[in-house]
């Protein structure tokens, strides 16, 4: 089914909201700011979106949903644990490159979600981290990874890929694919030759 004009406009509003939230923060962005960015009167915004809270919820739940569904897909492949972890690292980088503002909002502004969405988002994040940690742990048990503290390994990987949202821009002399390869090499093989 083709998207309707209303659906297209709504997604445009969500995309512009993510950019504004990234730039000004959730608390620093008003519906009036957003309306100005999308070329609507503030009152007209409510034909597409109920509230600023709804915008935040839609952005955060969509990004969390992508991470969770990709984790489930990757878990059920027949790939090695190393390849599964590489696929998750690629997912993080690809999402930051392609959906940078929305990922930034999900990473930083989730704490402004109202209940019960806040609890649901925190649970989704915990489930994702648990699933990622299990892949690392199974990879260690299979002899594919060095025996390390699983939490240290997990949060080093997650922290290492988060800087991409701040640094990466097209035109920096590095393609998204080269960025993925360099980060995977650093995380899984280290700098030593």
**pLDDT given at position 117:** 96
The percent of residues in the chain predicted with pLDDT above 90, rounded, is 79
Q: Is residue 20 part of a domain?
A: no
Q: What is the mean pLDDT of residues 19-32?
A: 94
CATH at 177 = 1.10.357.10
The answer as to whether 44 is a domain residue is no
On the question of pLDDT at 192 being above 90, the answer is no
- Which tens digits make up the pLDDT trace of 142-181? 999 999 999 999 999 999 999 888 888 877 888 889 999 9
User: Does residue 19 fall inside a structural domain?
Assistant: no
Given pLDDT bands bounded at 50, 70 and 90, which one contains residue 35?
very high
> What pLDDT is stored for residue 163 in this prediction?
87
- Print the domain residue range for 152: 57-189
26-35, 99-108, 121-130, 158-167: least confident range = 158-167
Give the pLDDT score at 21: 96
- Condensed to tens digits (0 to 9), the pLDDT of residues 61-102 reads 999 999 999 999 999 999 999 999 999 999 999 999 999 999
CA atoms of 190 and 184, how far apart (whole Å): 9
Write down the pTM of the prediction: 0.91
Give which of 141, 144, 130 is closest to 86, Cα–Cα.
Answer: 144
**pLDDT at residue 17, rounded to an integer:** 96
Count of domains forming the chain:
1
Q: Is residue 27 part of a domain?
A: no
Position 34 in a domain: no
Q: Are 55 and 13 in contact (CB under 8 A)?
A: yes
What average pLDDT is seen over the chain?
93
Is the distance from CB of 52 to CB of 29 less than 8 angstroms?
yes
Helices and strands per DSSP (H, E), number in the chain: 10, 0
Does a structural domain hold residue 5? no
Tell me, yes or no, whether 21 lies in a domain: no
Query: Is residue 41 domain-resident?
Result: no
Q: What SS3 state is found at 36?
A: helix
Burial 154-186 (b: 16+ CB within 10 A, else e): beebbeebeebbeeeeeeeeeebeebbeebbee
């Amino acid at each position: 089914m083709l998207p309707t004009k209303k659906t297209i406009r709504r997604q445009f509003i969500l995309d512009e909201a993510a950019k504004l939230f990234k730039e000004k923060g959730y608390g620093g962005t008003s519906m009036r700011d957003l309306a100005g960015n999308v070329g609507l009167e503030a009152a007209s915004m409510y034909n597409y979106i109920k509230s600023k809270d709804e915008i935040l919820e839609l952005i955060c739940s969509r990004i969390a949903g992508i991470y969770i569904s990709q984790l489930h897909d990757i878990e059920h492949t027949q790939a090695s644990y190393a390849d599964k972890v590489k696929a998750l690292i690629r997912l993080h980088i690809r999402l930051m490159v392609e959906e940078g503002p929305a990922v930034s909002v999900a990473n930083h502004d989730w704490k402004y979600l109202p209940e019960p969405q806040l609890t649901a988002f925190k649970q989704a994040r915990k489930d994702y981290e648990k699933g990622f940690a299990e892949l690392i742990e199974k990879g260690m048990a299979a002899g594919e990874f060095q025996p390390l503290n699983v939490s240290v390994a997990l949060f080093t990987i997650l922290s290492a890929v988060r800087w991409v949202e701040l640094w990466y821009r097209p035109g920096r002399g590095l393609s998204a694919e080269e960025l993925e390869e360099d980060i995977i090499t650093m995380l899984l093989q280290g700098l030593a030759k």
